[in-house]
């Protein structure tokens, strides 16, 4: 995890030491979930072929991972830029 976090920091130093591990965690969690979902069984492939509405649910692993990493990084960067307030909003 530490080596992967360092790799993230090398390419995105603006994330900082506190956010780089979060990018790694989310990426690993999504990869372990998306990979099997993007490899449907023969029965599921048959269902996709016979029912176009189901085929829309088929995952493209690369696209899911790209979106997940992009959203995670942009969200972490946006949270860094948000001003913090000592008092709650009314």
pLDDT band, very low/low/confident/very high, at 85 (cuts 50, 70, 90): very low
pLDDT band, very low/low/confident/very high, at 65 (cuts 50, 70, 90): very high
Domain ranges of the chain: 2-78
Q: Is the pLDDT of residue 33 over 60?
A: yes
Using only C-alpha atoms, what is the Rg of the chain? 18
Stated pTM of the model? 0.76
């Amino acid at each position: 995890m530490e080596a992967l976090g360092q790799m993230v920091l090398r390419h995105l130093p603006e994330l900082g030491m506190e956010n780089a591990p979060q990018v790694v965690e989310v990426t690993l969690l999504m990869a372990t979930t998306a990979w099997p979902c993007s490899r449907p069984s023969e029965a599921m492939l048959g269902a996709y072929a016979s029912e176009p509405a189901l085929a829309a649910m088929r995952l493209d692993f690369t696209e899911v991972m790209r979106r997940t990493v992009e959203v995670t990084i942009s969200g972490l960067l946006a949270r860094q830029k948000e001003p913090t307030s000592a008092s709650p909003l009314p």
